[in-house]
Amino acid sequence: MGAPASFSVTASSAALLLLTGLFLGMRHAFDRDHVAAVTHFVSLEPDPLKSAWFGCRWALGHAVSVLFLGSLILAFRVRLDPTFQRTAELLVGVSLLVLGIWRLFLLWQERQHEHRHLHPGKEHVHRHSHEPGTGHVHWFAPTLVGMLHGAAGTAEVFILIPITLITTAWLAYLTIGLFSVGCAFSMGGYGYLAGRFYHRASRKGKQIYRWLVVSTSSSGLALGLIWIMRNL
């Protein structure tokens, strides 16, 4: 009777730990820098399914970094140096600045252009515009950004999840895996809802869509500056 009771407690603790990893991953996805980065990609191709896929690709990169650095911590008892964490956070701030500037530049390209065409005896003006959803996003871009965010957030992951209480490697990796699944679920869901929002805004009118992009890009730039100043 004693052995089964011990097993039951261990199983309950493991289940609680795994659920904790899953729900912490779902919450972790909504960190400000994560949302700001994914929003830039979503605004470029505001289709709900594509936007959800942007979120999942970001989460894939995040999972790769957390798994790699987590493996070093678990296998070799490596402690992440504070300098590494500060440098990674600094690079996150730089990436937010780059993404904000890049998005504003593409918005400028989307504005209506005039092209003068010469014909025999006359000249006329032809207008066209670069609409959102024209494939500006490189396939690996969200994943690479996610990898950077994962490197910066690994220490936080190992603080939030009581890895030191895990006595077996398979449970440790399963916890990290469920954390990453939760992160992907939340970010994919956010991408889908944000994609619907941007899609409706673009249908309402180009001016509304542009002002929305300017607002989110500007907030991303401000957040990037704050991130850099905080980690200098």
Q: What is the pLDDT of residue 5?
A: 41
Q: What is the pLDDT of residue 156?
A: 74
Confidence band for 121, pLDDT divided at 50, 70 and 90:
low
Model confidence at 95: pLDDT above 90: yes
Q: What is the 3-state secondary structure (H, E, C) of the chain?
A: CHHHHHHHHHHHHHHHHHHHHHHHHHHHCCCHHHHHHHHHHHHHCCCHHHHHHHHHHHHHHHHHHHHHHHHHHHHHCCCCCHHHHHHHHHHHHHHHHHHHHHHHHHHHHHCCEEEEEEECCEEEEEEECCCCCCCCCCCCHHHHHHHHHHHHHHHHHHHHCCHHHCCCHHHHHHHHHHHHHHHHHHHHHHHHHHHHHHHHHHHHCHHHHHHHHHHHHHHHHHHHHHHHHHHC
Higher per-residue pLDDT: 165 or 98:
98
Domain locations in the chain? 17-110+132-231
| Average pLDDT score over residue span 164-182 | 82
pLDDT tens-digit profile of 40-77? 999 988 899 999 999 999 999 999 999 999 888 888 87
Model confidence at 211: pLDDT above 80: yes
Higher per-residue pLDDT: 210 or 79:
210
Model confidence at 91: pLDDT above 90: yes
Model confidence at 9: pLDDT above 50: no
Asked which of 31-45, 116-130, 147-161, 200-214 is least confident by mean pLDDT, the reply is 116-130
pTM of the model: 0.84
In whole numbers, what is the pLDDT of the chain averaged over residues?
Answer: 83
Model confidence at 12: pLDDT above 70: yes
Model confidence at 154: pLDDT above 90: no
Confidence band for 29, pLDDT divided at 50, 70 and 90:
very high
Confidence band for 122, pLDDT divided at 50, 70 and 90:
low
Q: What is the pLDDT of residue 164?
A: 55
Confidence band for 130, pLDDT divided at 50, 70 and 90:
very low
